Amino acid sequence: MPSDNNQIVIGVDLDGVCVDFYSRMREIAAKWFEKDLDSLPTEVSYGLEEWGIQDNEEYQSLHRFAVTQRNFFATVPMIPGARSVLRALSNEGYRIRIITHRLYIYFFHETSVRQTIAWLDDHGISYWDLCFMKEKDQVGADIYVEDAPVNIDRLRERGHYAICFANSTNRHITQPRAENWDEVYALIKQRFPTSDGK
Ligand SMILES: [Mg+2]
């Protein structure tokens, strides 16, 4: 079921998939709370309660500080393999569609989008489409690569093939899972060995 002109579309999440969100946010959270970095565990769940985040309002404050004061989306490290594997897939005819839900706090969308685009270019990520969307299944794709449990559950419930990119927030999510980008590549080739368009 190719989505566009016989081309297989891969819907790729950013945070926790291409972007090492939790390692950089941990550094910023340590400053935010004035705690030693080592005191913040690396095994975290989705709401970051392990770092002392009490509720969504506090999460949003940290997030706002990170983006507006620490240039978060432009400075966060890349997860190894994202660049080379996405380039390989793109060269093989797959269409890379970035789908991210980064615009969930009002009034600094321009900053978030600008930092995101700068990061994608700076890290040489091959992509054609960039979608800022909460409801990811409303953006057409043949395969999704995603790490957030709620998104993976929703995509799979609606019949989509969603690869879970493994991290500490999604240990309970079942196959298909990928521990790294090489495994993402293998799963995509298994599902859709070729992409006809180009
Ligand atoms: Mg994510």
For residue 39, the CA-to-ligand 1 centroid distance in Å is 24
> Which residues are known catalytic residues?
13, 15
Q: In angstroms, what is the span from residue 169 Cα to ligand 1's centroid?
A: 10
* Dihedral sign (CA 174, 192, 130, 81): positive
Half-sphere exposure of 167 (CA within 13 A, CB side): 23
pTM of the model: 0.94
Separation between Cα atoms, residue 160 and residue 155, nearest integer Å: 5
Q: Is residue 68 part of a domain?
A: yes
Both 102 and 112 in a single domain? Answer: yes
The answer on 184 and 96 residing in a single domain is yes
Q: Residue 50 C-alpha to ligand 1 middle, in angstroms?
A: 18
Cα 159 to ligand 1 centre (Å): 19
Same domain, yes or no: 58 and 105: no
The label of the residue with tokens 């507006």 reads 68
Tell me what pLDDT residue 110 has.
Answer: 94
Residue 142 domain-assigned?
yes
Q: Are residues 93 and 66 in the same domain?
A: no
Residue 3 forms part of a structural domain: no
Query: Helix or strand or coil: residue 152?
Result: helix
Question: And the tokens for 54?
Answer: 């009490």
Can you give the pLDDT of all 198 residues of the chain as single tens digits?
566 678 999 999 999 999 999 999 999 999 999 999 999 999 998 889 999 999 999 999 999 999 999 999 999 999 999 999 999 999 999 999 999 999 988 999 999 999 999 999 999 999 999 999 988 888 989 999 999 999 999 999 999 999 999 999 999 999 999 999 999 999 999 999 988 644
User: In terms of residue numbers, what domain contains 154?
Assistant: 9-20+76-191
**Burial (Cβ within 10 Å: 0-12, 13-18, ≥19) of residue 145:** buried
Q: Calculate how far, in angstroms, residue 38's C-alpha sits from the geometric centre of ligand 1.
A: 24
Give me the residue label for tokens 């970095």.
Answer: 37
Measured in Å, residue 147 CA sits from the centre of ligand 1 at: 5
Could you tell me if residue 26 is inside a domain? yes
Whether 94 and 187 share a structural domain: yes
**137 alpha carbon – ligand 1 mean position (Å):** 14
3-state secondary structure of 78: strand
Same-domain check for residues 96 and 153: yes
SS3 (DSSP) at 141: coil
pLDDT of residue 195: 86
How many domains does one find in the chain?
2
Q: CB count, 10 Å around CB of 77?
A: 12
Does residue 175 sit in the same domain as residue 80? Answer: yes
Burial of 21 (0-12, 13-18, 19+ CB in 10 A): buried
pLDDT at residue 152 in the model: 97
pLDDT of residue 137: 86
71 and 41, same domain (yes or no): yes
Assigned token pair, 106: 């009002």
Domain membership flag for residue 1: no
pLDDT for the residue numbered 197? 46
Measured in Å, residue 2 CA sits from the centre of ligand 1 at 24
Q: Residues 69, 156: one domain?
A: no
